[in-house]
Amino acid sequence: MVRPYTYPTTCKKRLFSVSPRKLLTSERRGICAPSRIWPLMLSQNTTIPHHCDDQPFEFSKVDPKLLSDMVKDKRLDSLTQLGGVRELATLLETDVQRGIGGNQADIDRRKRVLGVNVFQKPPSRGFLSFVLEAFKDATIIILLVCAVLSLGFGIKQHGWKDGWYDGGSIVLAVILVIVVSSVSNFKQSRQFQKLSAKSNNIGVEVVRGGRRQSVSIFEVVVGDIVHLKIGDQVPADGLFLEGHSLKVDESSMTGESDHVHVNGDRNPFLLSGTKVTDGFAHMMVTSVGVNTAWGEMMGSITRELDEETPLQARLNKLTSAIGEVGLLVAALVLVVSMIRYFTGSTRDEMGNREFVGRKTKFDDVMNAVVGIVAAAVTIVVVAIPEGLPLAVTLTLAYSMKKMMRDNAMVRRISACETMGSATTICTDKTGTLTLNEMKVTEVWVGKKAIAEDGYLAPSLDQLLKEGIGLNTTGSVYRPQQTSLPEISGSPTEKALLTWAVVDLGMDIDEVKRHCEIIQVETFNSEKKRSGILMREKRGSKRIHTHWKGAAEMVLAMCSNYYDHTGEIMIMDDGERVQIENIVKGMATKSLRCIAFAQKSSNGRVYFEKLEETGLTLLGILGLKDPCRPGVEAAVESCKNAGVKIKMITGDNVHTARAIASECGILGPNEELDEAAVVEGFQFRNYSPEERMDKIDRIRVMARSSPFDKLLMVQCLKQKGHVVAVTGDGTNDAPALKEADIGLSMGIQGTEVAKESSDIVILDDNFSSVVTVLRWGRCVYTNIQKFIQFQLTVNVAALVINFVAAVSSGKVPLTAVQLLWVNLIMDTLGALALATEQPTNDLMKMPPVGRVEPLITRVMWRNLISQALYQVLVLLILQFKGRSIFDVSEKVKNTLIFNAFVLCQVFNEFNARKLEKKNIFEGLGKNKLFIVIVGLTVALQLVMVEFLKKFANTERLTWEQWGVCVGIAALSWPIGLLVKCIPVVPNK
């Protein structure tokens, strides 16, 4: 029977002296959990079993809200009442060593009862918000007002049947422009949201069923045991189980910049969204998703994805400048047209004066005035190239989507365009230039190389097992004794553990059972080593200090060394030089050299820091990490593109030089150049003047620290370079932020590095970095193509309408026709030119750099020539078209409109290639371009032949169509001839 809980009178005193674990397992006594435990775990209205032996306790009784509050508020007293973290693990049915069971039914149950690890995001912008935003444009509002007035006067004068055409046409054209731009912006917004969701989906290492595995952050559940290391983001709220030297950055939650120590005694609380800055640990998840402090905060924050990029800012200035010119021209057209109308200088199609003073009807006057105002406003619409920002958005969205397929996830869209200007790439070695598949290929003990089946003394064998098995952040999981072990950790850790398990026969669980770790010093990128202090649990209970790290760093701490028989030998200067030469020989074979050393002592530990002197060298392992296939070709591609590659690595100078030569970073002439390869300490000790003088010659920096990388980026930027930097570690964050483009690694990169970067290279491959460079250049070039295309239309339309208005008082291109041209060039033109794919020619051009103007002299040459041709031909048609073709005024205006639109269609092909004469090269690869051109021509045919009243056109004969096509087609040979004119490049 279940009823609200009351204490049994006979056992009140006993309840508070019994631990929660005993309470939960004490079936024989019939004792239930005391009120000090249950209120934390259960909501007020929950009833609990009176007889615990009748109903076994299930975690489904846990109240997620109360558990969440305990961790968020860091209530240590509440945790103590529960009996500590391990008792809470029992409540959550978690084994602190093996984690949760991991079967799907258990995971689903935990999600259902205790929540899922996703945040409730504010609703995204709907389609209507983009429509309303488009309606707010001032020119659109003025056009709609003009359209409504024209509609009213037209219906009044000609009736409903014929009076709605002029005003209604403008309304329909405006609506079409709004709908097309709104749909385009809405789709790009959805695209950016998808990319954002993908960037938030990070991998988390959990232990389930005793097996360490990587799962999505969204799949983490309450009760999971999570492995944390430097640079990781804490995936959910939880409690510290075990670990060493753990520090977290809680600034994202508290705003405090000081790093917080987390341990099992005073502060076991870990908050979701915080970053691990030092140490490593296992934590038990207690709250997920909206039940965490981070979840509550994220529920009210939406990430702005429509950031204004530097190029968009430059284009907005250009748009404003052109808009001002357009306003001036429109104002002149308005004034001149009004003067000509009211002075009786304008005539209708029959040749009669339109304004004859008081004899003219008021409705006719208003219709004429509205028409003049609409024409002037439409000139502004055409003059303002609002398609430029749209073109940037389209090309960025398109390139981001394509880059994702090419293993590059863009986090900040401005990086797409900036990458096109990159002049220098500073790259890591391990995992970027190499495969990051480490394997132990050489083992040296003392001065002797040990073969795979070589003899090692049992004492030395045991010390190596302890040094590798305990001083590691990796793990070994063997489901069954006969099965192959699953080894987790970084590539270096996996290689060392694999060698110890396979070659030494190490049983890591046995090593851990017989040793107690007292203190840990985690790997440090400055010192390039890690160490542990341990005590034997059996026998003499001796204390051992174990160090592991870069060979020359560890070697400097040693006074003795073991030979393969287990004898300890004194390391004098001669012996040290011999061992250093062994390391140098291994490094010249591109091997990463890891040394192991230890020091033993009897009795108690009297020092807080690990011993760093007088150690005995155990052995040196050489790890081979082969270069990635295709990396040499990628480096060569960058060199051809005028982009300099600098390799920055923590490896020693000999390994670094060997890899750089293998990858092609060091050319044959540079291999012997002392200035081309430097070490980090040399670089940082240069004077500022020396650094600036030598930086361009440096190709490789070995034994570098994160500070050295940051210093190099700063120096390169001072010299005017646009710098891209790759990084994977937490300490790389400053350099990634300082660089113009930060590129983090998706596999080996820490979450801190990813958050500091602009682009995540998903496969950690240098070839993908080169792909990003290609796409960056493609984005920049596509936008230049569209600027050239659009400005040609702007110049031609402005000049034609202005000259015609001033000379005759009539504009040949009506409001509806100009809006149609606006739609072609703004949306369809942007879509056609913004989706051009990168070509190999892009990687043969020099980098743009910081100071190159957006509109180059080559673009001005192409633009002015085409605009002059269009203006010349169309003005001839304007003034001589009726007599040349013997047609009416309306047919002449239709010819001008048709020829003008077709000129833009043909000029779109010219815009595909800024400098190359063959404008059809690669056309077959861009199916979208062909579709858009075909669609434009088809719609133009419909406009002229079937929408006569809507577009104010007349049907044309086949001959007249042939003349229009011929006029437009002449833009191709003109473009070809113009490209033969040499242009002095911009300085």
Catalytic residue IDs: 428
Question: What DSSP state is assigned to residue 145?
Answer: H
Q: Are 450 and 456 in contact (CB under 8 A)?
A: yes
Rounded distance between C-alpha atoms, residue 581 and residue 595, angstroms: 14
Rounded distance between C-alpha atoms, residue 833 and residue 928, angstroms: 9
With H, G, I as helix, E, B as strand and everything else as coil, classify residue 82: coil
Q: Which residue has the tokens 């026709």?
A: 817
- On the 0-12 / 13-18 / 19+ scale of CB atoms within 10 A, 268 is buried
- On the 0-12 / 13-18 / 19+ scale of CB atoms within 10 A, 464 is buried
Q: Are 121 and 302 in contact (CB under 8 A)?
A: yes
How many CA atoms lie less than 13 Å away from 292 in the CB half-sphere? Answer: 30
Q: Are 71 and 239 in contact (CB under 8 A)?
A: yes
Q: Mapped to the 3 state alphabet, what secondary structure does 196-226 carry? A: HHHHHCCEEEEEECCEEEEEEHHHCCCCCEE
CB atoms within 10 A of CB 780: 22
**The Cα angle at residue 81 between residues 76 and 82, in degrees rounded to 5:** 100
Rounded distance between C-alpha atoms, residue 435 and residue 500, angstroms: 22
Structure-token pair, residue 489: 């950790």
Rounded distance between C-alpha atoms, residue 378 and residue 798, angstroms: 10
Structure-token pair, residue 395: 């090309």
Q: Phi/psi zone of residue 156: left (φ > 0), alpha (ψ -120 to 50 degrees), beta?
A: alpha
Angle between helices 857-885 and 889-911 (to 10 degrees): 160
Closest among 947, 909, 965, 975 to 819, alpha carbons compared: 947
- 488 - beta bridge partners? 475
How many CA atoms lie less than 13 Å away from 410 in the CB half-sphere? Answer: 30
Q: Are 11 and 31 in contact (CB under 8 A)?
A: yes
Rounded distance between C-alpha atoms, residue 846 and residue 853, angstroms: 14
Rounded distance between C-alpha atoms, residue 645 and residue 638, angstroms: 7
**The Cα angle at residue 677 between residues 675 and 680, in degrees rounded to 5:** 105
Rounded distance between C-alpha atoms, residue 387 and residue 181, angstroms: 9
Q: Greatest CA span in the chain, whole angstroms? A: 123
Helices and strands (H, E) in the chain, number of each type: 37, 28
With H, G, I as helix, E, B as strand and everything else as coil, classify residue 42: coil
CA dihedral angle for residue 894, residue 899, residue 901, residue 907, rounded to 10 degrees: 180
Question: What DSSP state is assigned to residue 266?
Answer: S
Q: Residue type at 978?
A: V
**The Cα angle at residue 85 between residues 82 and 86, in degrees rounded to 5:** 95
- 645 - beta bridge partners? 425
Beta-strand (E) ranges in 415-462? 424-427, 439-445, 448-449
Rg of the chain taking only CA atoms, in angstroms: 37
Closest among 777, 782, 786, 726 to 756, alpha carbons compared: 726
Q: Residue type at 718?
A: Q
First-to-last alpha carbon distance for the chain, in angstroms, is 89
